[in-house]
Structure 1
Amino acid sequence: MKAIVYQKYGSPDVLKLKEVAKPTPKDNEVLIRIYATAATTAECALRKGDPFVTRFFTGLLRPKHTIPGSELAGEIEAVGKNVSLFKKGDQVFGASGADFGAHAEYICLPEEGALAIKPNNMTYGETVAIYEGALTALPFLRDTANIQSGQKILINGASGSVGTAAVQLAKYFGAEVTGVCSTTNLELIKSLGADKVIDYTKEDFTKTSQNYDIIFDAVGKSSFSRCKNLLKKRGVYLSPTLTLMIIPQMLWTSKIGSKKAKIEYTGLRSSSEKMKDLIFLKELIETGKIKPTIDKRYPLEQSSQAYKYVETGHKKGNVVITL
């Protein structure tokens, strides 16, 4: 089968299209023919091995898992003899977990992994585009921040994959949403349901007079110290980006003060937790509560170009890789 392989950390140029052995499902696994996957900002950091702390999970000197990619949508081609939750022909979507491997024509996953039946009103690419960001945004908003109807939330980086999902999920939970993005993305964020938008090229959102229950820095380009004055009493600052500052801020604010800085390691959540979220997101997708935002599509053989575009930092929503 064809797969994207990398043997060393580095730029997108380390990604190479190669022929590798097609996997065979174990007794508790399903074999999935992948039709869509996603090029993500998180994957960029893992491929570069930067920040260095990520290498404790992915390999100190070289990557332990040489086929990248976590998000996938496809069709089950074969099942192990003990599989009962899925059958051949099921259209599914999910996440591969810590072993990665989604940038390939086929992958084997345990039936009780982060896997669910694909929404019936979306293509494979559209499905990947929605849940790639939503699988991060959902636990941050619902679990870490305990978002409530009527609260005010500001989402910095509202036009990225996590941001576009966060805007829609926050509206679903009944919050008043302010999105921060560039001039070219203002109408997009409004169309996703944002009540207010701030153009960061013209206005510094940290200097506004508004106060928020939640500030979700979806791109990790601000900081708790810069945003603290905008938070209400018992307000929460959320960051999905692991930085040198966020960890000590998180530890310090957990003990001192009413305003909290929090980070959620969504990639380390259990497969059962992810599966529940996939089913929840499937219901939102099928009822039209959230919709995909796709910037560009690339074929598998152009994965390095896809990641070069992601690393420009200007993508709107998601970049989908098709097979």
Structure 2
Amino acid sequence: MKAIVSAKYGSPEVLELKEVEKPVPQDNQVLVKVHAASLNFGNLVLLKGEPFLARFAFGLTKPKFPIPGGDVAGRVEAVGKDVTQFKPGDEVYGDLASSGWGSFAQYVAVPESALANKPVNLSYEEAAAVPMAAVTALQALRDKGNIQSGHKVLVYGSSGGVGTFAVQIAKSYGTEVTAVCSTRNVDIAKEIGADHVIDYKREYFKNHKQQYDLILGTNGSQPISVYKSKLTPGGVFVHVGGSGSQMFNTMVRGITNRKKIKTFLQRPNQNDLIIMKELIEAGKVKPVIDRRYKLDEIQQAFAYFAEGHAQGKVVVNCLM
């Protein structure tokens, strides 16, 4: 089969389309014919080996997982003898970040626990845009932010992969959502249901007077002190993405103020994939896709994604 292989850390140019051995599923594994995958921040870490601490998980001198790609959507081709949840022909989607990665390929063999049935109202490319980003938003809002109906929620960085899902998931909880984005993304924020939109190109966020019960920060644009000043007395700030220095600052402040300042790392979870499937099929959430690439265009896909300006998700069609 054909797969994208990274033999060393570096820029997108180290990614090569190669012929590799097709995987054979073990007893507890599902063999998936991959139709589509998508890019997330974790893919950049896996590509570059940065920050350096990540190499203790991904390989010190070279990638431990040579075929990158976490999100996957495809059709089950075969199952191991111990698999009970899926059968050949099932349409599935999932997050392989804790299962060896490998979705930038024509086939991948993964534990059944990494997968769920694909939302019936999504194409494979649309489904591939969901797992990691949507589950990140769900877990951050629900588990760290303790989101409740009636809350005032602010999503800073609302136009990226996690942000577009966070706005919609927060709305599904019956909250009042304010999205913060640049001028070019205001229409997207409105289309996905934001009640209010702050264009940070035109309004200095630090001077914004409203306070919020929950703030989700998906980038490093603001100091933690600014986010904290926008919280209600019982409010919570959840750090999802941003610079390493901001993450460190969040962790330090969180030690002394655990009720208000929280950092977060997503963990793949089959039940949360099922929850997202239900929200999507109910019409409450939909993926936003910026660009689509073919598998042999993976270098261009990574180069564009690394610029950090994608409106929603970047998707890779893996059929060849």
Shared fold, TM over 0.5: yes
Contact 1:129 1:320 in 2 (8 A): yes
Give the match for residue 297 of structure 2. 302
Aligned equivalents of 1:74, 1:109: Cα separation in 2: 12
Instruction: Provide, for residues 172-202 of structure 1, a one-character-per-residue CA deviation record: whole Å limited to 9, x for no partner.
Output: 0111111111111101100111011111111
Q: Does 1:289 align with 2:290?
A: no
Aligned equivalents of 1:220, 1:136: Cα separation in 2: 17
Distance 1:222 1:49, change over 3 A: farther
RMSD across aligned positions (CA): 1.5
Give the match for residue 244 of structure 1. 245
Any idea what SS the aligned residue of 2:309 has? Answer: coil
Q: Does 1:261 align with 2:256?
A: no
Aligned equivalents of 2:54, 2:121: Cα separation in 1: 36
1:100 Cα deviation after fit: 0.9
Amino acid at match of 1:55: R
1:50 Cα deviation after fit: 1.5
Give the match for residue 277 of structure 1. 272
Give the match for residue 105 of structure 1. 106
Between 299-308 and 94-103, report the one with greater CA deviation. 94-103
1:3 Cα deviation after fit: 0.5
Give the match for residue 135 of structure 2. 135
1:66 Cα deviation after fit: 0.6
Q: Does 1:313 align with 2:308?
A: yes
Please give the residue correspondences for 1:1-323 in structure 2 after superposition, counting only pairs within 5 Å: 1-98=1-98, 99-111=100-112, 113-241=113-241, 243-256=244-257, 260-266=260-266, 269=267, 274-323=269-318
Instruction: Provide, for residues 254-278 of structure 1, a one-character-per-residue CA deviation record: whole Å limited to 9, x for no partner.
Output: 434x752211221xx3x5xx10001
1:205 Cα deviation after fit: 1.5
Aligned equivalents of 1:155, 1:49: Cα separation in 2: 28
Aligned equivalents of 1:220, 1:52: Cα separation in 2: 19
Aligned equivalents of 2:203, 2:184: Cα separation in 1: 14
Any idea what SS the aligned residue of 2:36 has? Answer: strand
TM-score, scaled relative to structure 1: 0.94
Contact 1:71 1:94 in 2 (8 A): yes
- Between the two proteins, the alignment pairs up a number of residues equal to 316
Between 43-52 and 31-40, report the one with greater CA deviation. 43-52
Any idea what SS the aligned residue of 1:63 has? Answer: coil
Amino acid at match of 1:3: A
User: Runs in 1 of length 4+ with deviation above 4 angstroms?
Assistant: none
Aligned equivalents of 1:3, 1:207: Cα separation in 2: 49
Aligned equivalents of 1:219, 1:249: Cα separation in 2: 12
Amino acid at match of 1:29: Q
Instruction: Provide, for residues 13-49 of structure 1, a one-character-per-residue CA deviation record: whole Å limited to 9, x for no partner.
Output: 1111111110001111110000000022331122111
Flag structure 2 segments of 5+ consecutive residues without an equivalent.
Answer: none
Aligned equivalents of 1:151, 1:180: Cα separation in 2: 17
1:133 Cα deviation after fit: 1.6
1:145 Cα deviation after fit: 0.5
Aligned equivalents of 2:187, 2:250: Cα separation in 1: 34
Aligned equivalents of 1:18, 1:212: Cα separation in 2: 50
Contact 1:254 1:260 in 2 (8 A): no
Distance 1:259 1:116, change over 3 A: closer
Identity among equivalent positions (%) equals 47
